Structure 1
Amino acid sequence: MGKNCAIIVAGGKGTRMGKGINKLFLKIKDKPLLAYTLEAFEKNQYIDSIILVSAKNEMEYCRSEIVLKYSISKVKKIVCGGENRQQSVLNGLNAIKESDIVLIHDGARPFVSHKIICNGIKYANMYGACACGVKPKDTIKVKNDVGFSDYTLDRNKLFCVQTPQSFKRDIIISAHKDIMNKDITVTDDTMVAEICGYNVFLYEGSYTNIKVTTPDDLLLGERILRDFNYLDV
């Protein structure tokens, strides 16, 4: 069986949280958000290693106050992030020594389940590239330049992409290097694969697999955590 590595991207500024510190260090029930995220991959039997990507000035804090304090033994390296998420992911990819499948995950998604992680590995092996997500609950409209509704999108064809986004290692490394050389900016890793001609399989995520971005998300996270079990979702 192949090796599976998770890259956890934890170097964002989190300005929308308005707390003055990295939002991943904020706590729910006395534990940092980043610790919950790392524990989800630590406890998954199919994850062999974790690469944590951090801001340069937060690397030691991540090591001492997160990785060591919460005994995240699968973290093999903490690497310095880049100027943007795209560069940070590539730095993480370059730090992998041995892996067949790579799962790239936002550090700010602490409620990812074992089922989502396992399906990411399964579908990446089958299709080369995949991402989890959910159907939007709301009707989505396109707004014109003067503030009026232009038209309404077909909700049945829309998909709110989450992480992890999972890939065969060779595919995602070569794709990232290719777009970096072409100076193309992307917002997530499925775009990287798509731009380079790869089809991305989309599979079911979870509405509890939220990205904690605002203070309201912290309150929602507390409610999710009351009933959350990595194995059940």
Structure 2
Amino acid sequence: MINGQYVSAMVAAAGMGRRMKTELNKQFLEISGDKILSHTLKKILASKYIDHLTIIIKDSDLNYLNDILENLTINIPYNIVYGGAERQDSIYNGLLSIPEKTKVVLTHDGARPLVEVSKIDEVIEATFETGAATLANTVKDTIKISKNGKTVDYTPNRNELWAVQTPQVFLKDVLMNAYNQAYQEGYYGTDDCSLVEKTGKKIKLVWNGYGNIKITTPEDLILAEALIGSDL
């Protein structure tokens, strides 16, 4: 709870993980002797503000999740929700399931186990500036825009580019309004912030380091193993 506001966290772990090239959902692969999703849940549960946890998975992964939960200490209420066709549908399913008294909603990728607990708390605190906040960092590479995927159309100003991560945190009414509007318009975004942006809301950027990677490919597993014990 923060400022008397009930905080619900949703961890999205219902993706297919096709780029990992494995039959097992990537969240249930291991790094540093534990499942990726287990690492992630431990970080979320360590936040001093979170009052409720929703874990979003594919129904076929329930047994894998139960194996993780048997070895976790969870001292707050939690529930399990099955995902939809797209990430957006999965988060919406989660939104419909959280306690009515929720005022602040945090969404986080199950495949981001390296997030720092202090940064989880920081982005929750920043939410009250505009009603929406996200962890992010500046882009190090020069980015090119190519509409046909073959030739460069132009180069945007790197100083204006940010790579957005999770957690992303919102006042519940702000996020619910954004989801309802997106479905009315038939719009699917790549993250929750993109839906909120379309309503005209400003998103507060909270600087984060470069260690909060999303584990997506086999190479990311190697990098995560190297980072998990580091100070990045």
Name the residue aligned to 1:120: 123
Whether contact under 8 Å (2:48, 2:121) holds in the other structure is: no
SS at match of 1:101: strand
Percentage of matched positions with identical amino acids: 35
Task: Tell me the distance in 2 between the aligned counterparts of 1:118 and 1:212.
Answer: 22
Q: Which residue in the other structure is 1:66 paired with?
A: 68
Q: Check the 8 A contact 1:38/1:72 in 2, yes or no.
A: no
Q: How many residue pairs align between the two structures?
A: 228
Equivalent residue, structure 1, for 2:6: 3
Counterpart residue type for residue 211 of structure 1: K
Amino acid at match of 2:118: K
The 1:146/1:51 distance shift into structure 2, 3 A limit, reads closer
Taking structure 1 as the reference length, the TM-score comes to: 0.93
Q: Match for residue 26 of structure 2?
A: 23
1:59 and 1:79 in contact (8 A); partners too: no
> Match of 1:217, SS?
helix
Which letter maps to 1:72? I
- Secondary structure of the residue aligned to 1:150 is coil
Deviation, 1:141, is 1.4
Instruction: Kindly state the Cα deviation for residue 154 of structure 1 after the two structures are TM-superposed.
Output: 0.8
Partner residue of 1:156? 159
The corresponding residue for 1:81 is 83
Q: Does the alignment pair 1:91 with 2:93? A: yes
2:138 is aligned, of 110, 135, 138, to: 135
Pairwise CA distance, 1:153: 1.4
CA distances 1:130-156 after superposition (whole Å, capped 9, x unpaired)? 111111111111235372322221110
Unaligned runs of 5+ in 1: none
Q: CA deviation at 1:193?
A: 0.4
Which of 178, 192, 196 aligns to 2:195? It is: 192
What one-letter code is carried by the residue in structure 1 that aligns with 2:79? K
Report Cα offsets for 1:153-209 as digits up to 9, x if no partner: 111000000001110011101211221132211111011101122111112022000
State which drifts further: 121-130 or 10-19: 121-130
C-alpha RMSD of the superposition: 1.5
Cα distance in 1 for partners of 2:113, 2:148 equals: 36
Letter in 1 for 2:43: A
Q: Which residue matches 2:55? A: 52
Who is 2:180 aligned against? 177
Name the counterpart of 1:205.
208
- Structure 2, unaligned runs of 5 or more: none
SS at match of 1:226: coil
Q: Take 1:226 and 1:196, find their aligned partners in 2: how far apart are those partners?
A: 40
